[in-house]
A and B are shown apart, each in its own frame.
Chain A
């Protein structure tokens, strides 16, 4: 049981490039989410999904796209990278979005946009 996996661990992009951050979980969790973590700020929600085929925007969705074609995978796409997207990105999952379920986090992806 690998839990939540993320690839890559580190990435450097040039402004304007696009890329996809991969996230997968093997716990059959319905709820998956993407957060970004910046110095001096709490984790902020980018996008989330409550099940395959269902996604919605979080607090800071601009510049990012997501899709959820399977229960296991929830990739995050940067359409045209900007220096403001330099951050650490975490994917998380839980059995359901309901209040009493623990969140499981991936190891994070450190992204630098130059």
Chain B
């Protein structure tokens, strides 16, 4: 069974569209994350949720809205997509929040905005 799964794996869309990426973890973890990895492989945290509560909200345009319906799911909705949003988006989870915890990453969603 896949520990952290993301759908879709690939997403190609036009500028201005709205899209969602879904993430699910079956590890029983309390904390989930969204990261953005750009073309230079720079990995930047966007959001973190602990027990469905938002605990980290980095400087991200408000076109990005995370939603955690339960502990096992953290979805990312993006409004009015822009060319600069093209990147790989990774979901991750950890047992709890805090730097001692190992993060388990999903396979990534490759978003291309045309």
Q: Do A and B bind each other?
A: no
Q: Footprint of B on A, CB under 8 Å? A: none
Q: Footprint of A on B, CB under 8 Å? A: none
